[in-house]
A and B are shown apart, each in its own frame.
Chain A
Amino acid sequence: MKSRSEWVLPVLTAAMLVAALYLAFVWAPTEKTMGHVQRIFYFHVPSFFTAVVAFLVGMVAGIRFLMSRDFRFDELAVSSNEIGVIFTSVNLVTGSVWAKPIWGVWWTWDARLTSAFVLWLMYVGYLILRRSVDEPGLRGVVAAVFSIFAFVDVPIVYMSIRWWRTQHPQPVMFSTEGTLDPQMCLVLYFCLLAMLVLYLCLLQIRRRVERLRHETEGLRRLVHSA
């Protein structure tokens, strides 16, 4: 039986996602030049920022693991980074679907798209790397060091549209340059909040799975060593 506190986050997540859907599909005004497809923006942009938060948590947890060798931090790092990969996948896929009717292509190798794809590849590499090391202590150390290097790409992705000429629109979040409609801006920030709550909910579930994996691994070693 799950305790009441374990249900709070999933229920809150579901409620916020339903509200986010209503705001994005009904309440937000339709963009004049792109039409309804622009509403992808309310999932595309928050997915990226949620992935950034997930990778940041993963990196900080990795550093804490290096300092303390406490496996709870390693558990948090792998859980958060894996969820970050999921949100980056959503960002890349929704971006590609948005690009097709607007740019006429599914994909173009411009600075923003390429750096975001490299970010996704690096964190997929992180997950593969973890699977290739058997010894838990060494696995945690190697993964933590790798995640610190992988995180370097996050500011590159964010700044890529300022540093290089790209097809991608200029930033609208955490920027003073954007000229986003206030109603659209409100929906965007609400969707970001909903995605962050979804991240916390997934993190709660993923950490439970990781704890179970850790326990199983420990017992497997005990059985095979006896």
Chain B
Amino acid sequence: MEETLKWLWIGFSCAWVIHLLYVVSLGRRAKKLRDELESLKAMVEERRGK
């Protein structure tokens, strides 16, 4: 019984680690895009000002 619990725990952990890593990657992608968008908007504003 102990042995099968160990495998259940491994399977369960793997499933949620995959989901967690995906959510973290989405957050990082969103942050990177938001930063790039801000700098691009600043560049456009700068060009308009000239």
Contacts and interface: CB of A to CB of B under 8 A. Distances in A.
A94 B8 CA distance: 9
A222 B15 contact: no
B7 A209 contact: no
A220 interface: yes
B3 A101 contact: yes
Contact of B15 (A35, A43, A208): A43
Interface SS of chain B: helix, strand, loop or mixed? helix
A44 B7 CA distance: 13
A37 B4 contact: yes
Contacts of B47: 223, 226
| Majority DSSP secondary structure for residues of A touching B | helix
A162 interface: no
Nearest to B28: A209
Contacts of A12: none
A168 interface: no
A69 interface: no
Nearest to A21: B12
Contact of A97 (B11, B23, B34): B11
A183 B18 CA distance: 28
Interface string A40-75: 100110010000000000000000000000000000
12 contacts: A37-B4, A37-B7, A39-B8, A47-B15, A86-B19, A202-B26, A206-B26, A209-B30, A213-B29, A213-B33, A216-B40, A223-B47
Interface of A: 34-40, 43-44, 47, 86, 89-90, 93-94, 97-98, 100-101, 198, 202, 205-206, 208-209, 212-213, 215-216, 219-220, 222-223, 226
